[in-house]
Amino acid sequence: MNFFSPWHLLLVVLVALLLFGPSKLPELGRGFGRMFREFKDATNGLVSDESNQAAPARKEVNTNSSVEEEARK
């Protein structure tokens, strides 16, 4: 389903223009851009931290399985 159409975007832009005026819109756009960039960087940092923490756990599981195999012999 497509919830947003070009008319919705136009309405949002017009309301923003009426509320903030043409001089404030570039500043608001830059602020939102910085906010989204920081959010993206933070989420990428969390994902990379999780993958770094998960790697040793996988190695530990592999060593346990090899110990179990040798115990069965």
Look at residue 34 in the predicted model and tell me its pLDDT: 96
Using the predicted structure, report yes or no on whether residue 51 has a pLDDT greater than 60.
Answer: yes
Residue 27 lies in a domain: yes
Residue 2 lies in a domain: no
Residue 71 lies in a domain: no
Q: Measured at the alpha carbon of residue 72, what is the angle toward residues 71 and 73, in degrees to the nearest 5? A: 90
Residues in CB range of 28: below 8 A, 6 or more apart? 16, 20
At 15, which CATH number? 1.20.5.3310
Residue 30 lies in a domain: yes
pTM of the full structure = 0.45
Determine the average pLDDT of the residues in 15-34.
Answer: 90
Residue 56 lies in a domain: no
Look at residue 46 in the predicted model and tell me its pLDDT: 78
Mean pLDDT over the full length of the chain: 79
Look at residue 53 in the predicted model and tell me its pLDDT: 63
Closest by Cα among 8, 43, 42, 12 to 29: 12
Q: How many domains does the chain fold into?
A: 1
Helices 25-72 and 6-20: crossing angle, nearest 10°?
A: 120
Residues spanned by the domain of 35: 7-47
